[in-house]
Amino acid sequence: MPLFAMHDPWLQPFAEVISHRLNHAARKEAELTGKSQSLKDFALGHLFFGLHHTRDGWLFREWAPNATAVFLTGTFNNWQKEDPRYALERISSEGIWEIKLEPGSLHHGDLFKLIMHWVGGSGERIPAWCRRVVQDEKTKIFNAQVWEPSEPYKWRYPDFIVPSDPPLIYEAHIGMATEEHKVGSFNEFRQNILPRVIRGGYNTLQLMAIQEHPYYGSFGYHVSSLFAASSRFGTPEDLKALIDEAHGAGIAVIMDLVHSHAVKNETEGLGRFDGTPFQYFHEGLRREHVAWDSLCYNYGKNEVLHLLLSNCAFWLGEYYFDGFRMDGITSMLYLDHGLSKNFTSLDMYFDGNSDEDAIVYLMLANQLVHEIRSDAITIAEDMSGMPGLATPQKEGGYGFNYRLAMGVPDFWIKLIKEFPDEKWNVNSMYYELTNRRADERAIGYCESHDQALVGDQ
C-alpha cells in the first residue's frame, strides 16, 4: 500500500486504486524508456524534431503520420508552396519527415511554414516543435522564424540553485506589467518591475503567458506553439536576460506551463496538423473542452507524452526556468474535467471518473522535472483536492512540490467585496488557511490572476 494511504485511514479503502495508478505509471515509464534509458534521455524530442543548424547545413524533422507530402516554404523561396527543392522525405513508417539543406539555404530571421498535404486536402502549418513564432503587424499572420543569432546568449548565473526557503511568489504577466497603453516587454519588465520584486522580498517570480498563443486576450492559456516564447514580449535573448538577472538577485523563476489543453486553431496550432483531428488530441466527444473552447490532449499516446515531456525538459534546459506552475490540473484529472463538482467525498477521486492516462503523465512529468533539476519547483493548479497530488513520489504520491490553495484568494476577495472589516470571522479565516492535508504542502496567494482578471479587477 502507498505510504501516504497507509498514514490516512480514510484512504485505505482506495489503496487498490492508488496502487493501480502507481503501477500504471511504472509500466508506462518502462515502455517509454526501455532498459537502457532514463526518462531524461527519452524527453529529448526538441533535439530531434524541428529546425536545427548543423555543421553540414540545416536539418528539419516533423512527425505527421497522415501526411502524403510535406514542403517547407518561406522568405527563402518567395513562399513557393510546392517547391521540389524544399520537399521533405518520409523516413519512417511512423510518419517522421525530414529535409537536409545546404549551408546558406536559411538565414537568421527568415520566415517559414510547412505546406502539409493529406488525402483530400492540404494546409499551411506552423511546425509543432518550432522555437520562434512571429506575427506580421499588418496582416496579423503568424509564421515560424529561423532564430540563429550570431552570438548565443551567455548566461551569467548558469548554476543558480532555488532558495531552500518556502517560495514567496510574485505572479506576473509580462504584457500587462506596464502602466502604458501597450503590451509590455521582457526588457521593460527586467528594468522596471524586477527591482520592485526584489525590494518586496520575494524569492520566486512566476511568469504567465510565456508559450506562444494567437489570441492575446486568452492571457496565454490557449497555447499554439509549445516551444516558442511569445514574441509579443521580445526575443528569446530578452527572456533569458530577465531570468538571468532574477537569478543574480537570488530569485527563482517559474512559468505557467499549459499542458492541460491547446488552442483549436489549425493554421497556428496543432488542431488538425496532419489533416486528422486526432494526431495529438482525443477523438469524438473528448476532443473539445466543453468549457474552454479548446482541444484536449490524448495522454494515452506515446507521441503526445514525448511532445509534452520534451517540452518540460526544453524550458528547463534552454531558458533555465526553475520549475512550473502547471495549469488546469483539475481539468486533466477527471474525464468530466471536474466541472460542476464540489468534491465533498473521497469516493469522487476514485470512482472511475479519473483520466488515468493524464494522471500517469503528471507523475512522469514530475519525475522528469526533478530528475533534471532536483531543486526545481512544481505547483499543481488543482481545485479538487485530489489526495496525493503534492505528496512525494517515494511515498506513492504524484510528486508535485506544492498544490495551489485556490480557495484562499477566492475567500479573500469575497471578504473584501461583501463584508465590512468588523464582520470578518476569524474562525472562518483560520479554517480557510489550514484545511489542508497534513502530508501535502500548499501555496496560497492573497490575489492571483483570477481575481485580477475575472470580474473582480
**Cα–Cα distance for residue pair 137/7, rounded to 1 Å:** 58
Neighbours of 103 (CB within 10 A): 11
Reply yes or no on whether 31 is catalytic: no
How far apart are the C-alpha atoms of 20 and 356, rounded to whole Å?
A: 9
Whether 327 is catalytic is yes
Residue 206 phi, psi (nearest 5):
-110, 125
Annotated catalytic residue: which of 29, 188, 327, 355?
327
Phi, psi angles (nearest 5°) of residue 53? -90, 120
Rg (the chain; Cα; Å): 23
Distance of CA 163 to the CA centre of its chain: 23
Selected catalytic residue, list 245, 322, 357, 381? 381
CA distances from 266 to 88, 115, 197, 274, 384 (A): 20, 12, 38, 10, 32
> Using an 8 Å Cβ cutoff, are 312 and 322 in contact?
no
Q: Three-state SS for 187?
A: helix
Q: What number of other Cβ atoms are within 10 A of residue 245's Cβ?
A: 18
How many of the other CB atoms lie within 10 Å of CB of 396?
21
* CA 237 to centroid of chain Cα atoms: 20
According to DSSP, the β-strands at 57-63 and 96-101 are: antiparallel
Q: What is the DSSP string of 404-445?
A: E-THHHHHHHHHHHH--GGG--HHHHHHHHH-S-TTS-EE--
Grid cell for residue 157: 548565473
Phi-psi region at 332: left, alpha or beta (left = phi > 0; alpha = psi -120 to 50): alpha
* Cell reading at 44: 529529448
Residue 82, SS3? coil
Q: Cell numbers at residue 242, please?
A: 530577465
DSSP-derived pairing of the beta strands 294-295 and 121-125: unpaired
Q: Virtual CA dihedral for 372, 25, 64, 324, nearest 10 degrees?
A: -40
Residues labelled as active-site residues: 327, 381
